Homo-oligomer: A and B are copies of this chain.
Amino acid sequence: MSTSKAEATTPVNGSLTRQRRTYSIGELARMFEVTPRTIRFYEQEGLLAPERRGQTRIYHEKDRVRLKLTLRGKRLGFSLAEIREVIEMYDAMPDGNARQLKRLLEILADKRNNMERQLEDIRLMQRELDDVEMRAREVLERLGQD
């Protein structure tokens, strides 16, 4: 998990007021700094279901958003299976039966707990980092003086 910056938000809509609705796999890959292989793998795992023009995949806004959510979920440590579960339930929502919906709410509560824990972890970890950094700077100081 190294540093990077790109988040690939909504495109800036260069000319007209609602266009550029589709993407190739390569475009999407560059946008999010993943490989096409990764995107195909996500499809194979049921996280994406792009349109097909013949053999080649055509991605729309919806697919892009899904990919974005998927990658965000990954950064938060969710497995692809977990992410898929939520996505599937979300898609099945309109006609979902009560049991399914309650199950979904359970999962969401679980994720929420997870988020809370991570927030706490982050706070603690930041303190640790502060501490280590302080010590490191002190040592550096002394090295400079001698």
**Which A residues contact B (CB, under 8 angstroms)?**
1-3, 69, 72-73, 75-79, 82, 86, 90, 93-94, 96-98, 101-102, 104-105, 108, 110-115, 117-119, 121-122, 124-126, 128-129, 132-133, 135-137, 139-140, 143
Contact = CB atoms under 8 A, between A and B. Distances in A.
A133 B75 CA distance: 22
Nearest to A86: B132
A86 B98 CA distance: 48
A126 B124 CA distance: 20
A110 B129 CA distance: 11
A110 B115 CA distance: 21
A110 B2 contact: yes
